[in-house]
Every structure is written in C-alpha cells, then in structure tokens.
Structure 1
Amino acid sequence: MSDAFADDHRPDSADFDALRLLALDIASEAAGYADAARSALGPGRRVAHETKSSDVDPVTRFDRETEALVVERLRAARPDDSIVGEEGANHRGNNDFEWHIDPIDGTVNFVYDLPGWCTSIGVLYGGEPVAAAIVAPRLGDRSTSTFSAALGGGAFLGDAPIHASEATDLTTSLMATGFSYHLDAHRDRQAARIAVMLPQVRDIRRMGSAALDLAFVAAGRLDGYFEEFISSWDVAAGVLLVREAGGTVTAFDGEPLDVRAPRGVLAAGPAIHRVLDAALHRAR
C-alpha cells in the first residue's frame, strides 16, 4: 500500500486491511514495551506519575515513551499521514489519513497494576474509522488480548471473528461506563445518571479503559457502553471494532458520531441500542 493515492484512486478494503495489520504490529510492539516496563517494577508497585487535566488524571513517563515509539514507527512507515496522540503528538500530514493513538488507555489501571489497560490505535480516512488495533497484554496471549478491525473486513479477537451482542432485553443486559477526571459538575451528572440507570439493567461495569469497553462490546462481552467527556484517541479504534462486529455506535445523544470530536459515545448490540438510547435520554 502506498503512502499516497492518485487522484483517481480511493482506498479499498485491501488497503484498509493493510492498515489494520500495520496498526496491529505497532500496537503490539508498543503494548509489549509498556508491559515490560510495568513488569519490571514488580507486582503491586505503583508507577510514579504526574497529573494533567486534573489532580486525579495521571500520566506516566511510560505513556510518553510508548507514544513516542508509536509515532516513530508511524512516521517511518506512513510519513504523509497525520498523527494525533493523547500525550501531545500532533503531526499534520498531506493526505486524508489520520492515526489517533492512545499509548496506554487506562493509565490509572496501569499505575495500580490492574490488568485493564491497552494500547489503542485507530485510523481515520476522511474523518471516518477504517482500521483499528487494540492490544491489552495483561489479558493473556494474542488470542485473548488482541483486537483488530478493517472497514468492510470484519472485527477480530486474535484471528477469530467477533460479533456484538444480540441482547434485546435491557433488564438483563450488562453495561459499562466511565467517569470524567474533572471533579466538578461532570461527575455529579454522571453519578445521578447511574442512579437512574442501575435499576434498569443487569449490572454496570466501570473498568477504566474506554477502548477496552468498546472492544468488549464488539466481542459480545458487554451488551452496551456509554460515556461522556471523551476524546478521539479513546474511541477511534473501538468505534470501528463495534461497527465491524455488527454493533451500533452513535454520539451520546443518539446522533451521528464525530470521531474527531466525540465528547460522548453510545455503543451497543444492534437490538439493544435503541432501547439503551431511550433509557439514557430519560436519565439525562
């Protein structure tokens, strides 16, 4: 696959699958680097960190080093593409491809030596997701920890195709959500919504990684996921995973999702999405 396309050629499914494989290769290397760094500290040892958006929003040197590794690999392989990263990467390319990267999604879990963190890489073309890779090394080997997708090519866990939930009953559905790191009206509003939603569903999980929440919706491990106050690198990969697994993804208010500026996301199996959207609307 070339770095640029002729004016009369639009990328196709084969091109998107090549990007999937590249994203998977880079995400696997980056996640392996972060995992080795975490392991070297010893079990349960907390990672030294600073804070960024608030006093409870951590960032570690491993977030920055892992992002630098991803950027270096991408700049070598795809010099004409744009790159947007959580830890400050901001390279403007000269074509319609954008790589949105979260080097360690679930940094709090990483700091506390909990397994729910991953490296997430999503590729947009003209603003729409076309390739994705999410690697969560603490979840096991490649067959249990490596998610990927390409537009028109399906979604996979390892090499096995995955499919979103077929649940139809909200009361027996398992949901996931997340909470803002801004300790203000954001969390107050989210807490009030959970109080309304919890009696309507089987249970709600808060696992600490938006990318993994979306991957789990794609794999049918969750029936749905909703969260406000998020960024493109949180969802760029996971959105495509859910869609290619047959699920439905919208903005938090049920409108079409702008992945570049998502603010909030609602993802679920196709049958439960409408019901979940209506329940969330009543809980707002």
Structure 2
Amino acid sequence: MTDSAELRKLAETVASTVGREVATRREGGFSFTTKSSTSDVVTEIDTWSEDTVVEMLSTSRPNDGFLGEEGTSRSGTSGITWVIDPVDGTTNLLYNLQGYSVSIAARTEEHVIAGAVFDPVRDELFSASRGQGAWLDGNTLAVTPITDLSIALVGTGFSYLAEQRRAQAEALMTLLPEVRDIRRGGGAAIMLCEVASGRLDACYERGLSPWDSAAGVLIATEAGAITHEEELVYAAAPGIAKPFAALLQTMGA
C-alpha cells in the first residue's frame, strides 16, 4: 500500500500532463464515432488519453490494476486500482466547450483514497486525498455555507438514452420551482468539483459509471459535501443536504 498523498501527487501529475496535451490535440483536429447512442461520443483523443494515462501510471506503479472507460481492465497485485476517465465530457470536447476533464482516482477494495481532475480549458487541477482534504491548484477547497435550498444553484447531467432523458426532463419540472436555478455544464467529474469549489451548491446525476464519479465524489466529500454514490450520485453542501436528498426522492431523480 502507498500513502494516499503520494497517490494523489501521482494522479495530479498524470492528469495535468495528459490533460494539457488533450487540449493541444483538440485544436489539431480529430476523428470521432458513437457508442450507445448518437449522443454518446468517443474520439481518438479519448483512446489516446487512456492509453497514455495507463502507460504513465504503469511506469511508476507496475503492480497496480486499471479500470478505464475506453476498455482498459487489468488486475493488479498491489491492492490499488486506478479508475480512469480519459475525457469526461467528450461532447464538450467535440464542441470546444468548457466542462470536459481528465479524471483519475486510486481505490482500494474498500474505497477511493486519492484522485485528481484536470480541466484543460481553465487549466485547473482539482485533487484530494482521503481524510486529508481537497485542493484546487494547491488551495484548500470548501463547499458553500448555504442553508436555504430555495437559493441553491444545482448542477445535473442527462442520460444518453432517449427514454431516460425524457424522464429526467419531467423530473426537472419538480426541481426547478424549489431551487434558484439549474446548470448542465458538461461531465460529472467537473460538476462534482464545482460543488467542492463552491461554484455549485449541489449536483446530481443518475446512471454514472465508476470512472465518471470516482475522483469527483472524493474531491467533493473532502471539501465538506454530503455525497451519495450508488445508482444516483449526488453531492450537496451540508446545510441543504437533507432537504435536497428528500427533493430528489420526491421528484424520482
């Protein structure tokens, strides 16, 4: 086992190095295709990013396991598995919008212990170590002190599948009158980091994969958010967490 702070530093280095090259490659042009639906895009940059992240991590830690969105699945012997989203928010990458990231988390059998999320557009690096706090470019993160759900700015995301998107849109009709407003910015990793940094008061999304949320949930939790990570993933400032969770249940999020 390696100290979580060491794993965080490695994740920071790899995520920022690969993330900056992702931005460079995006400007140079790229090809893309789709996966589960026409909304579910994958580019050659995604596959290059995952391959490079795995190569860099393997060089430092050859006995670790890997789980990546674009197909990497490798068992290790160290007790550490790296969970990788090489480009979280690929649609935003495709349209050259802010909101995509490189997300890397280190987990044991029990829980995620370190993670980093790099935003190539803003050149921002979010990271956390379990039990040690969360940071944005070295500065300590903390969620907002909000206590009134009616003035909360809430982030969300939508499924790639048409029927699920329809149900999610209907659920928003219950949410919108109860909060200040909603935002749908891009990938889940950045959205969770925006709760951690106080740019959002809460967020939620259903149907995420482990690589979508592993690093972001840790970062939000270490910044003080109340988080939930099952079929429905959410993060909220403590002062609104209970009514927010109740609202999500009422609206069938």
Give the equivalent residue in structure 1 for 2:239: 271
- Segments of structure 1 that go 5 or more residues without pairing to the other structure are 6-10, 42-46, 251-256
State the distance in 1 between where 2:134 and 2:45 align. 28
Equivalent residue for 1:238, pick from 197, 209, 216: 216
Give the equivalent residue in structure 2 for 1:149: 128
* CA drift at 1:263: 2.7
Give the equivalent residue in structure 2 for 1:90: 73
Give CA-to-partner distance per residue, 1:230-254, whole Å, 9 cap, x none: 100000001110111111101xxxx
Q: Does 1:204 align with 2:182?
A: yes
Give CA-to-partner distance per residue, 1:180-210, whole Å, 9 cap, x none: 00112x1122111111101110000001110
Equivalent pair of 1:86/1:101 in contact (CA under 8 Å): yes
State the distance in 1 between where 2:39 and 2:224 align. 35
Give the equivalent residue in structure 1 for 2:17: 29
State the distance in 2 between where 1:109 and 1:97 align. 30
Equivalent residue for 1:224, pick from 170, 186, 202: 202
Give the equivalent residue in structure 2 for 1:68: 51
Give the equivalent residue in structure 2 for 1:165: 144
Q: Which aligned runs of 4 or more in structure 1 are off by greater than 4 angstroms?
A: none
State the TM-score, normalizing by the size of structure 2.
0.96
State the distance in 2 between where 1:157 and 1:170 align. 25
Give the equivalent residue in structure 2 for 1:19: 7
Paired residue type of 1:99:
W
Between 1:102-111 and 1:126-135, the stretch displaced more is: 126-135
State the TM-score, normalizing by the size of structure 1.
0.86
Q: Aligned pair count?
A: 252
Paired residue type of 2:223:
A
Give the equivalent residue in structure 1 for 2:100: 117
RMSD, matched Cα: 1.1
* CA drift at 1:276: 0.3
State, as a whole percentage, how many aligned pairs show the same letter: 40
Give the equivalent residue in structure 2 for 1:8: none
Give the equivalent residue in structure 2 for 1:254: none
Paired residue type of 1:156:
W
* CA drift at 1:271: 1.5
Q: Which secondary structure does the structure 1 equivalent of 2:162 belong to?
A: coil
State the distance in 1 between where 2:113 and 2:47 align. 25
Paired residue type of 2:6:
A
Give CA-to-partner distance per residue, 1:141-184, whole Å, 9 cap, x none: xxxx1101111211000011010122111110000000000112
